[in-house]
Amino acid sequence: MIDSEEVTIQVTTEGGEARDIAASLALPEAAFGPAPAVLVLHEIFGLTDDIRRIARRFAEHGYVALAPDLFGAGFRPACIARAFIELQRRSGRLFGDLDAVHNWLAERGEVDGSRVGVVGFCMGGGFALAYGVTSKVGAAATFYGDVPRKAADLAGVCPVVAGYGARDMMFARQGRRLEKLLSEIGVEHDVKIYPGIGHSFMNQHEAGLLKSFGAVSPMHVGYDDAAATDSWERMLAFFSKHLGEA
Q: Identify the pLDDT of residue 78.
A: 87
* Residue ranges per structural domain of the chain: 3-243
Residue 216 has pLDDT above 80, yes or no: no
Q: What is the pLDDT of residue 184?
A: 97
Cα–Cα distance, 81 to 110 (Å, whole number) = 35
Distance CA(106)–CA(113), nearest Å, equals: 4
How high is the pLDDT of residue 76? 75
Of the candidate ranges 99-113, 170-184, 209-223, the one whose mean pLDDT is the lowest: 209-223
Query: What integer pLDDT is reported at residue 212 of this predicted model?
Result: 60
With CA atoms as reference, report the closest residue to 68 among 85, 88, 93: 93
How far apart CA 147 and CA 150 sit, in angstroms, is 9
Q: Which pLDDT does position 192 carry in this prediction? A: 98
Q: Is the pLDDT of residue 208 over 80?
A: no
Q: Is the Cα dihedral 219, 220, 223, 227 positive or negative?
A: negative
**pLDDT at residue 175, as a whole number:** 98
The fold of the 3-243 domain, in CATH, is Rossmann fold (3.40.50)
Residue 125 has pLDDT above 60, yes or no: yes
Kindly report the pTM of this predicted structure: 0.94
**188 pLDDT higher than 60:** yes
CB atoms within 10 A of CB 143: 28
Give 20-39 pLDDT, tens digit per residue: 999 999 999 876 779 999 99
Q: What is the mean pLDDT of the chain?
A: 92
Q: Convert the pLDDT of each residue in 137-169 to its tens digit.
A: 999 999 999 999 999 999 999 999 999 999 999
Residue 95 to residues 24, 52, 80, 113: CA-CA distances in angstroms? 18, 21, 14, 18
- CB 227 within 8 Å of CB 145: no
Q: 32-41, 72-81, 121-130: which has the minimum mean pLDDT? A: 72-81
CB 128 within 8 A of CB 51: no
Looking at residue 31, its pLDDT comes to: 65
pLDDT computed for residue 210 by the predictor: 54
